[in-house]
Amino acid sequence: LEPKEEFSHKTLAMDVMRPRRSDPPLSVITQDGMSVEEVESLIADTSYSGFPVVVSHESQRLVGFVLRRDLIISIENARQRQEGVVSTSPIFFTEYTPPQPPNSPPPLKLRGILDLSPFTVTDHTAMDIVVDIFRKLGLRQCLVTHNGRLLGIITKKDILKHMAQIANRDPDSILFN
């Protein structure tokens, strides 16, 4: 992101975040209750660089963010090395794993690959502030919440695309020096 490009104050995080109203919902992983095969299909069916991890679909409360490549590596490793890990093994991102019923497949504990403090802004945050944070912290993505509920995600590319669109539509709203 070029430091000299400035955003118009009018643009808010909600205007840039995905999903758009017409898009499929955000792809999230729940902190418990998903199996190895469910997470594997999520990885196979999408190409996102990462997934927010939430307490539950109902609460949409954010627990952290997990990178796609870390998920792939961890599941592959567990399937190869960890005794008994199969498609139906449950995946836990929680601190503690509840005792599993006897003869059930062993759980896969993945809290270690979770970023527990992903950068988050509210949907009403002005985009010039978001851009400033991206630059200063060197972010790749940022999550968007409203009243503690996860709403969406903004990637660096989303910002660049949005800047290009505004520049086309209304060249005065961005100052290119």
Which residues contact ligand ADP by CB under 6 A?
18-19, 26-27, 47-49, 51, 153, 155, 157-158
Least distance to ligand ADP, CB of residue 73, Å = 17
d(CA 136, CA 175): 19
In the block, which residue shows the tokens 């609460």? 59
Query: Dmax of the chain from CA atoms?
Result: 66
Residue 107 or 152 having the CB closest to ligand ADP: 152
**3-state helix vs strand vs coil in the chain, percent to 5:** 35, 25, 40
CB closer to ligand ADP, 9 vs 161: 161
> Measured between alpha carbons, how far is 64 from 31 in angstroms, rounded to an integer?
9
Residue 78 CB, shortest distance to ligand ADP, in Å, is 22
Closest approach, Cβ 74 to ligand ADP, in A, equals 17
Looking at the Cβ atoms of 9 and 157, the one nearer to ligand ADP is 157
**Residue 155 CA to its chain's centroid (Å):** 9
Query: Residue for token digits 């505004």?
Result: 166
The SS3 of residue 149 is strand
- Determine the distance from the C-alpha atom of residue 22 to the mean position of all C-alpha atoms in its chain, rounded to a whole number: 19
Please state the closest distance from residue 35 (CB atom) to ligand ADP, in A: 19
Q: What is the rounded distance in angstroms from the CA atom of residue 23 to the CA atom of residue 41?
A: 19
Q: How far is the CB of 15 from ligand ADP (least distance, A)?
A: 13
